[in-house]
Amino acid sequence: MAFHPAKCTTVHMTRRRTTLPYEYQLHGQKLQEETQAKYLGVTLTKDLKWNTHIANITTKANRALGFARRNIKLSNKKAKAAAYKALVRPILEYASPVWDPHTAEDSASLEKVQRRAARWVSHRFRQTSSVNNMLEDLEWPTLESRRRRARLTTFYKVHHDLVAVKSNHAPKPSPPKCTTRQTHALSYEIPHSRTAYRQKTFFPRTIPEWNRLPVETATAPSLASFQARLATLH
- The CA distance from 7 to 174, in Å, is 46
Same domain, 163 and 100: no
CA Rg value for the chain: 21
What confidence score (pLDDT) does residue 179 get? 60
Confidence at residue 49, expressed as pLDDT on a 0 to 100 scale: 92
Q: Are residues 56 and 133 in the same domain?
A: yes
Q: What is the pLDDT along the chain (234 residues), one digit of tens a residue?
A: 778 888 888 888 887 777 777 888 888 888 888 889 999 999 999 988 999 999 999 999 999 999 999 999 877 899 999 999 999 999 999 999 999 999 999 999 999 999 999 999 999 888 888 999 999 999 999 999 999 999 999 999 999 999 989 888 899 998 876 666 667 889 999 998 888 888 999 999 999 999 999 999 999 999 999 999 999 987
- The pLDDT assigned to 33 comes to 86
In-domain check, residue 27:
yes
Integer Cα distance of 19 and 14 in angstroms? 8
- The number of beta carbons lying within 10 Å of the beta carbon of residue 229 is 16
In eight-state DSSP terms, residue 194 is: S
Q: Let me know whether 21 and 95 are in one domain.
A: no
Its pTM stands at 0.88
pLDDT of residue 183: 74
Closest CA to 41 of 92, 6, 89, 1: 92
Q: Are 109 and 55 in contact (CB under 8 A)?
A: yes
Phi, psi at 78, each rounded to 5°: -65, -40
Within-domain flag for 40: no
Domain residues for 103? 51-140
Question: Residue 46 domain-assigned?
Answer: no
Residue 101 domain-assigned?
Answer: yes
Please check whether residue 198 lies inside any domain of the structure.
Answer: yes
Task: Identify the CA nearest to 39 among candidates 9, 63, 6.
Answer: 9
151 and 110 co-located in one domain: no
Give the amino acid at 20: L
Residues 183 and 222 in one domain: yes
The residue out of 113, 140, 167 marking a domain boundary is: 140
Split into its structural domains, the chain has a count of 3
- Smallest CA-to-CA distance from 205 within 147, 162, 123, 122 is with 147
Within a domain: residue 151? Answer: yes
Q: How many CB atoms sit inside 10 A of residue 197's CB?
A: 13
Within this chain, do residues 131 and 62 fall inside the same structural domain, yes or no? yes
39 found inside a domain? no
Contact 69, 120 (CB under 8 A): yes
Residue 115, domain member (yes or no)? yes
Residue-level pLDDT at 137: 96
